[in-house]
Structure 1
Amino acid sequence: MSSLKPPSPEWLDRYYGRDEQTLYTGRVSVTGGEAGHGRASGVVRSDDGALEVDLRLPGTLGGEGGGTNPEQLLAAAYASCFHGAMTLLAMRAGVKLVDARLDVAVNFSRDPVDGLFLLSARIDVHLPGIDRGFAAELIRNTERICPYAKMFRQGIEHVVALAPESSPLPGDD
Structure 2
Amino acid sequence: MQKLRPPPVSLLDRYSGTGFAPVYATRVTVRGGETGHGRASGVARSDDGVLQVDLRLPPALGGPGGGTNPEQLFAAAYGACFHGALQLLATRNGIALPSCSVEVAVRLGRDPVDGHHALQADVTVRLPGLQQRVAEELVRATERVCPYAKMVRQGIEGTVRVVVTEEAGDAAN
- The alignment's TM-score, normalised by the length of structure 2, stands at 0.94
Instruction: Give distance in 2, aligned partners of 1:131 and 1:168.
Output: 53
Which residue in 2 is equivalent to 1:48? 48
Say which SS state the counterpart of residue 48 (structure 1) adopts. coil
Question: Is the partner of 2:73 in helix, strand or coil?
Answer: helix
**Which SS does the other structure have where 2:106 is aligned?**
strand
Runs of 4+ off more than 4 Å: none
What stretches of structure 2 of length at least 5 have no aligned partner? none
1:163 shift after superposition: 2.4
| CA drift at 1:104 | 0.7
The residue that corresponds to 1:68 in the other structure is: 68
User: SS where residue 11 of structure 1 aligns?
Assistant: helix
Supply the distance in 1 between the matched residues of 2:149 and 2:79 (Cα, whole angstroms): 10
Structure 1 residues 120-139: aligned runs within 5 Å: 120-139=120-139
Which structure dedicates a bigger proportion of its chain to helix? Answer: 2
Provide the alpha-carbon RMSD of the alignment.
Answer: 1.5
Q: Which letter maps to 1:169?
A: A
C-alpha distance in 2 between matches for 1:160 and 1:145: 26
Deviation at 1:96, TM superposition (A): 1.2
Residues 17-56 of structure 1 aligned to structure 2 (within 5 Å): 17-56=17-56
- Pick which of 54-63 and 161-170 moved more: 161-170
User: How far off is 1:130 after superposition?
Assistant: 1.1
Q: What letter corresponds to residue 5 of structure 1 in structure 2?
A: R
1:79 maps to which residue? 79
Alpha-carbon shift at residue 26 of structure 1 (Å): 1.6
| 1:92 equivalent in alignment to 2:92 | yes
Instruction: Identify which range, 107-116 or 82-91, moves more after superposition.
Output: 107-116
CA distance in 2 between counterparts of 1:115 and 1:17 reads 40
The aligned counterpart of 2:172 is: 169
> What amino acid does structure 2 have at the position aligned with 1:35?
T
Name the amino acid aligned to 2:143. Answer: E
Q: CA deviation at 1:164?
A: 5.5
Render the CA deviation track for 1:7-66: whole Å, top value 9, x for unaligned. Answer: 111110101111111011121100000011011111000010100000000001110100
Identity %: 57
For normalisation by structure 1, the TM-score amounts to 0.94
CA distance in 1, matches of 2:27, 2:41: 20
Aligned residues: 170
One-letter amino acid of the structure 2 residue matched with residue 116 of structure 1: H
1:169 deviates by 2.3
Distance in structure 2 (CA, Å) of the matches to 1:57 and 1:90: 38
Deviation (angstroms), 1:2: 7.3
Higher RCO structure (Cα 8 Å, ≥6 apart): 1
1:104 aligns with 2:104: yes
